Structure 1
Amino acid sequence: MRLSWGRYGSAGLGIIDRDEAAGAAGDPYEGGRSMGEKVVSEAFDLADRLRHRDKLKQCLQALERLLAEKRFDRPRNLMGLEIELNLAGPDGMPSMVNAEVLERIASQDFQTELGQFNLEVNIVPHRLSGRVLDQLAEELRAGLSYADRRAMEVGSGIVMIGSLPTLTSDHLVRGNLSTADRYTLLNEQVLAARGEEFTIDIAGVERLTCTARSIAPEAACTSVQLHLQVTPGRFAAVWNAAQAVAAAQIAVGANSPFLFGRELWRESRPPLFVQSTDTRPPELQHQGVRPRTWFGERWISSAQELFEENLRYFPPLLPISHDEDPLRVLDGGGVPGLHELTLHNGTIYRWNRPVYGIADGVPHLRVENRVLPAGPTVTDVMANTAFYYGLVRALAEESRPVWTRLPFAVAAENFDEACRHGIDARLRWPRPGRGGPPVPVDAVRLVLDELLPLAAAGLDAWGVEPADRDHCLGVIEQRCRRRVNGASWQAATYHRALEAGMDRQQALAATTRRYCELMRTGEPVHAWPDGP
């Protein structure tokens, strides 16, 4: 049976979910253009913004009623996966040809992304049990291999990587945004809200400072998004668990050490994402106004709290109002699309995001994990996937949850530390079976000694095939034992190229070409030759 969430989207392009922007409940890919595409040529006036604010309040009231009336879907253990991709030529340089590649792929599973060198692949939802990890791996390999062959017809190829090392600020300009109305619309509204060009300033191994006059730099961030459908009663525990383990995900999965020709953090996507979507001018930043890309600031007790925060803290970027009256739909026994609420949610970039959706006329909630970078291989992606789903299940069901022993501020600091240092990060974590404050521990020791056994137990609770469990978690174990992930491999390869006499641009291109060659072998990154 082919499962469906109504062909979910995830705002993976960094802006609007396709289902969040759609004008009709049910299947968001049917019925023509999204709300954003319909009004791209129109200006928003005061009446639009006032009406939209009222509609947002109505949507929130409708969500409260849906929760109170227990209208949400029963547990079905559904998970979903999306991967953002890059396009690069044989020389390792980015290829601005996504329209031509998509025309040749001719599959709804592949969609445009923000930059013309980006694509996204969507895997339909699966039940999280049995041979699901092996099934997903086969589907991904087949789909990506097919897409890669089609891309080669126009002198390009698919690259699964967090940030393409050969991208420069010259590539990331408005003219290289994908040619879809929704990208133009969001770019205009973000710039209008900010009122000035964006400043990118990231200090890591080296320092990058530059400015941008569009949201195009965000296209450098390509990620994996993991969806998990949960009941309202379990949502808070799953979201809190996902927040707690985000640092560990990054530590073992970092794959973005380069940005615009500079070696920065081991996972440079998060700081770039924050700065390239920041609608706050410096004065508002200094006042402590929250950025639209953020880790959060507290543990939660319900999904509703996150949607309430969205309305409380963030003005709508796209005040596009739908004709639906959500409260009237509820009064009539129907299920409202909550279009304004979901559209607004799609322009607030939490690393773990709540998602409201409808499938087969029944509403549901999902936690969307947006932490991981893409790549390096399908095997690595599936290892990261297994680690996340197993760990979240185990931690969400603990009798004394980790978030009752880990201050939220420490979880946020751990995330920052993991992004900076990757596999070499030191995180603070509660000591098993003991009281007291969290203590510093090497990320690899934390994963090996505590988190991998928990992930294995969680996968067992899902009913995942033991052989698949052991294969995937074994990849994480070997990364930790060898202290190798995509970021450390890229950095080591780049520095060897410099030592061999190449200049910076040549070394980055050589690293990218070698990465692509090994990526296509399918061997996990810890087994790649020429590692650190």
Structure 2
Amino acid sequence: MGELTVEKLSSASDKANYIHQLVKDIEALEIMIEKGMIEKSPIRIGAEQEFCLVDNDFFPQDNSLDVLSAINDKHFTTEIGNYNLEINLDPLELKNDCFSVMHKQLESFLSKAKKAASENGAKIILTGILPTLALKHISVENMTPMQRYDVLNEAIKESRKQDFDIHIKGVDELNLRHDSVMLEGCNTSFQMHLQINPDNFVEDYNWAQAISGPILSACTNSPLLFGKELWSETRIALFTQSVDTRANSFLLNEKQSRVSFGGEWATGSVSDIFKDNVSRFRSLLTSQFEKDSVEMINNGEIPKLKALNLHNGTVYRWNRTCYGVGGGKPHLRIENRYIPSGPTVSDEIANFMFWVGVMVGRPKKYGRIHEKMDFKDAKSNFFSAARYGMSTQFKWNGSYVPASKLILDELLPMAFRGLYSLGILPKDAEHYLTIIENRIRSHNGSEWMVKSYRHLLQTQRPFEALQNLTAFLYEKQEKDYPVCTWSSNLGSELELFKDKLLVKHIMNSGIFSVDEKDSLELVVKMMKWKDIHHMPVINGDRKLVGLLTWTDVQSFDPEVQKNYSVKSMMVKDLITVSQYESIENAKQLMEEKKINCLPVVKEDRLIGIVTATDLDAKW
């Protein structure tokens, strides 16, 4: 999660001091590598579990600090969104039953978190992007009130010098302009760490890059954002754009995003990877540095390389190189950042074992992968997997191979061999890798979510469907049955929400609207062609200014229709409603005013419409 006590780099002296410390840290790292001080064995694994807090209606619950206080455990920490928290698991030696031990450790931590959440009116959900997240949840008011996040937000905005433009195109399309980095708070992940021998680091890192696409394809779990069906793993596109420090005018040059897969194979030593990051991305934050890292080594101490780690914490490689100190010994590891949270703990541990198994089970034919595979193929594989999940065709060994065939025929056997070579218990390997195999033969998290959401949309509006989808997700997650066993036939609705329905649950947001300057004749024809009984009218600022009803337009003389604009004939004295008004109040308002529809507005802008027919169907 990174250093919490930070400040924005502002004065020239602050920048000079920080850069000096950063350069010294890189020098210290090279000294430790040269002197063989970096730990080579045993190999250890670790993980970070991010999760969402929701209320009893399965909407984001912004009380993470209250829950964190109730948990009172140093393994837990904050995230940028005040409805998310993170667990830092204890590292384990990669041997025997380490994966089942990690499973139990994570369940124990989550049990503690669930108890604290329940005491504060919340529940816990593991998912890459919470389906019920809405635009109102990503305002700065919902940012965790801690200095680190305020400083990071201001530093990135200052570097970018303009709002964030988000454009993601999948089955649906999202175009959004936002004024803060809070879109990052939509993403929750299960970050996996694997310690790497420094002598083999660059080759192992390149292998991690090469297998990222196939590994991700089996693990996607984030297809929905704000009710839109986007990428199979939408987090990849969203995170890339949500903390992009580049102004739009720079996007066509070679400058990389801070969230990146990289642009080429790694070369040289591990220190060159850090040097590349420092060279490409200017520092955003600083902290207090008490000691010179090189002097510490000369005095027989092990430095934590605080300046380097602080910089590294603001460069979000999907496979990130990390330095740390554990048990008084420095080590290097690869942090896998592209795997989403959920759908269950069993699925997450299976994902972890699959990745580690393929990492350590690499056969000789894939040695020096940078000489045998074009980096752009590895990068293309990764983003194709993010878009299409298990439907991806991967460029592998010079030809295109379906994801299922590559995983079942080559990568799963490779993972088994790698795990057995390290002494992982066969029963554990069989248990968790069978989860991956069954998932490949049925569906992964994103496929289940898309099928389930589409099924719910047959009888529900998007807002209601998303709420029910999240409730079903929670219900199934609590049983910890792998997602491959879940049915997508969820039923029509949950009675749980019957007495809590809002206008947003039933309003129609996919509506036609017309401009006040449009031809009345054309609009009347449109209403007839599309069987529209209520046509909202907007102005050039897209604000709601009027309404045409079929009852009214039927009485218009054809000559009137031909010679007049919509503005001259529309109803201007409108009665509107908020999307968060209860259905009961909306129905009562219609009855009192003797009207059959209510335009739904937000800051005078039309976002939907609810009719008497909609209300009668639900009430």
The two structures share one fold, judged by TM-score above 0.5: yes
Secondary structure at 1:356 match in 2 = strand
Give a deviation string over 1:282-303, Cα, whole Å, max 9, x none: 1121222111010012222421
2:487 pairs with 1:529: yes
- Separation in structure 1 between the aligned mates of residue 276 and residue 340 of structure 2, nearest angstrom: 26
| Aligned amino acid, residue 101 of structure 1 | V
Post-superposition shift, 1:443? 0.5
Post-superposition shift, 1:155? 2.1
Give a deviation string over 1:364-393, Cα, whole Å, max 9, x none: 111111110000001101110110010000
Give a deviation string over 1:479-524, Cα, whole Å, max 9, x none: 1111x01101111111011112x11111111111111111111100
After TM superposition, list the pairs within 5 Å mapping 1:404-443 onto structure 2.
404-430=371-397, 438-443=398-403
Post-superposition shift, 1:337? 2.4
- Separation in structure 2 between the aligned mates of residue 186 and residue 284 of structure 1, nearest angstrom: 21
User: Who is 1:128 aligned against?
Assistant: 94
2:80 pairs with 1:114: yes
- Separation in structure 2 between the aligned mates of residue 209 and residue 343 of structure 1, nearest angstrom: 32
Aligned equivalent of 1:496, options 455, 467, 471: 455
CA contact (8 A) 2:223 2:446 kept: yes
- Separation in structure 1 between the aligned mates of residue 384 and residue 236 of structure 2, nearest angstrom: 12
Give a deviation string over 1:219-257, Cα, whole Å, max 9, x none: 111001111122211212221121111111211100000
- Separation in structure 2 between the aligned mates of residue 56 and residue 468 of structure 1, nearest angstrom: 42
Post-superposition shift, 1:113? 1.0
Aligned equivalent of 2:473, options 505, 515, 519: 515
Give a deviation string over 1:91-123, Cα, whole Å, max 9, x none: 221111111211222222221111011011121
CA contact (8 A) 2:131 2:466 kept: yes
- Separation in structure 2 between the aligned mates of residue 398 and residue 345 of structure 1, nearest angstrom: 32
Secondary structure at 1:395 match in 2 = coil
Post-superposition shift, 1:281? 0.4
Cα gap change, 1:399/1:250 in structure 2, threshold over 3 Å: closer, same or farther?
A: closer
User: Who is 2:341 aligned against?
Assistant: 374
| Aligned amino acid, residue 183 of structure 2 | P
2:444 pairs with 1:480: no
2:162 pairs with 1:202: no
Give a deviation string over 1:283-335, Cα, whole Å, max 9, x none: 12122211101001222242112101011111101144513222222333332
User: Who is 1:249 aligned against?
Assistant: 215
User: Who is 2:310 aligned against?
Assistant: 343
Cα gap change, 1:320/1:504 in structure 2, threshold over 3 Å: closer, same or farther?
A: same
Taking structure 2 as the reference length, what is the TM-score of the superposition? 0.77
CA contact (8 A) 1:249 1:371 kept: no
- Separation in structure 2 between the aligned mates of residue 169 and residue 276 of structure 1, nearest angstrom: 14
| Aligned amino acid, residue 456 of structure 2 | A
| Aligned amino acid, residue 376 of structure 2 | A
Choose 451-460 or 322-331, whichever is displaced more.
322-331
CA RMSD of aligned residues (A): 1.6
Post-superposition shift, 1:153? 2.1
2:239 pairs with 1:273: yes
2:271 pairs with 1:304: yes
CA contact (8 A) 1:102 1:110 kept: yes
- Separation in structure 2 between the aligned mates of residue 55 and residue 146 of structure 1, nearest angstrom: 39
Cα gap change, 1:310/1:400 in structure 2, threshold over 3 Å: closer, same or farther?
A: closer
| Aligned amino acid, residue 375 of structure 1 | G
User: Who is 1:87 aligned against?
Assistant: 53
2:249 pairs with 1:283: yes
- Separation in structure 2 between the aligned mates of residue 96 and residue 350 of structure 1, nearest angstrom: 28
CA contact (8 A) 2:455 2:488 kept: no
- Separation in structure 1 between the aligned mates of residue 366 and residue 116 of structure 2, nearest angstrom: 50
Aligned equivalent of 1:333, options 284, 287, 300: 300
- Separation in structure 1 between the aligned mates of residue 33 and residue 43 of structure 2, nearest angstrom: 19
| Aligned amino acid, residue 44 of structure 1 | S
- Separation in structure 1 between the aligned mates of residue 302 and residue 74 of structure 2, nearest angstrom: 26
- Separation in structure 2 between the aligned mates of residue 179 and residue 214 of structure 1, nearest angstrom: 14
Secondary structure at 1:171 match in 2 = helix
- Separation in structure 2 between the aligned mates of residue 180 and residue 35 of structure 1, nearest angstrom: 9
Cα gap change, 1:396/1:214 in structure 2, threshold over 3 Å: closer, same or farther?
A: farther
- Separation in structure 1 between the aligned mates of residue 29 and residue 458 of structure 2, nearest angstrom: 59
Aligned equivalent of 1:363, options 330, 338, 349: 330
- Separation in structure 1 between the aligned mates of residue 68 and residue 299 of structure 2, nearest angstrom: 42
| Aligned amino acid, residue 464 of structure 1 | I
User: Who is 1:73 aligned against?
Assistant: 39
Aligned equivalent of 2:412, options 427, 452, 464: 452
User: Who is 1:461 aligned against?
Assistant: 421
Post-superposition shift, 1:194? 0.8
After TM superposition, list the pairs within 5 Å mapping 1:147-226 onto structure 2.
147-226=113-192
> Structure with the greater relative contact order (CA < 8 A, sep ≥ 6): 1 or 2?
1
Post-superposition shift, 1:273? 0.5
How many residues in Structure 1 have an aligned counterpart in Structure 2? 489
Aligned equivalent of 2:291, options 324, 331, 350: 324
- Separation in structure 1 between the aligned mates of residue 172 and residue 380 of structure 2, nearest angstrom: 21
Secondary structure at 2:233 match in 1 = coil
Post-superposition shift, 1:60? 1.5
- Separation in structure 2 between the aligned mates of residue 397 and residue 336 of structure 1, nearest angstrom: 36
CA contact (8 A) 1:237 1:396 kept: no
Structure 2: give runs of 5+ residues left out of the alignment.
Answer: 491-619
| Aligned amino acid, residue 246 of structure 2 | R
- Separation in structure 2 between the aligned mates of residue 175 and residue 343 of structure 1, nearest angstrom: 25
CA contact (8 A) 1:395 1:401 kept: no
Identity %: 35
2:36 pairs with 1:51: no
CA contact (8 A) 1:116 1:177 kept: yes
CA contact (8 A) 1:44 1:319 kept: no
- Separation in structure 2 between the aligned mates of residue 444 and residue 88 of structure 1, nearest angstrom: 34
Post-superposition shift, 1:398? 5.3
Which of structures 1 and 2 has the bigger CA Rg? Answer: 2
CA contact (8 A) 2:40 2:198 kept: no
